[in-house]
Structure 1
């Protein structure tokens, strides 16, 4: 398997995990925040499909989603859901950022779109999860 296909498989795994996490966090939100969760879930489903198509185009088989994923901590309320939203998008941005260097053409465009989308959603979640702090980060997906 090529380095780019391996990176795409890692990105696919991150998208599967993000979709799972959005299902968990959405159960603890209402109003605009629930709408954000639904939009985030849809965005990650679209990214999952796009990256699965890239993997298939590379003559590889996209890895299936796991039945469940380990969350950083239990989500039992709104605050936990908001924190998970931040963590999901931070992790997704990191995975997509790390993939950029080994990708080119359409795959690189998909990765860049995913990175930007995660950065925007991460800022949105930070704006409510961490009031008083800047919702943006210097380099999304960086350490």
Structure 2
């Protein structure tokens, strides 16, 4: 089994980055999108605080957030803000995926719940169902001709 404190620290780092990113998302949004960004910001802030408490309860020292984080692309408009929010949710989901491998059942439940919340938020930003991190992407839907679009026909010959 995986070391719980190490995995909690990875999750905390992801939550710190998510809180920062959602600040940017909110700043580049308005109306309903800003309300959604605020809800995401608050959800990640609450999880961050919860994870900090779990680390401290296990005798660890929770890391502090960095003063700033490098964004993966410029965010100057609502469309990029939505793209960033979806990416953040994917990355936080990946951090929690590692936490489900720890031996502590309560942490595994917390990680599964957090992954579900991230997936729902991410889908709200970008309604695409992606594979879980570490799993292959789903096959494209068949075209009307009966074969997947954008890929050659599959041969079963060896």
Unaligned runs of 5+ in 1: 128-134
Contact kept in structure 1, 2:99 and 2:107, CA below 8 Å: no
Structure 1 residue 77 and structure 2 residue 77: aligned? yes
Which residue pairs with 2:152 in the alignment? none
Secondary structure at 1:61 match in 2:
coil
Query: 2:78 and 2:134 mapped to 1: Cα distance?
Result: 26
Paired with 2:12 and 2:125, the residues of 1 have a C-alpha distance of 22
2:46: which partner in 1?
46
Q: Is the 8 A contact 1:51 1:110 kept in 2?
A: no
String of CA shifts for 1:96-127, please: whole Å, max 9, x gaps: 01221024232222212211110000100003
Q: Deviations over 1:46-104 (max 9, x none)?
A: 11011111101111111111111111011111111011011000000011012210242
Query: Structure 1 CA distance, aligned partners of 2:7 and 2:64?
Result: 15
Task: Provide the aligned length of Structure 1 versus Structure 2.
Answer: 134
1:33 aligned residue:
33
> Which structure has the highest helix share of the two?
1
Equivalents in 1 of 2:31, 2:38: separation in Å?
A: 11
Structure 2 unmatched ranges of 5 or more: 136-158
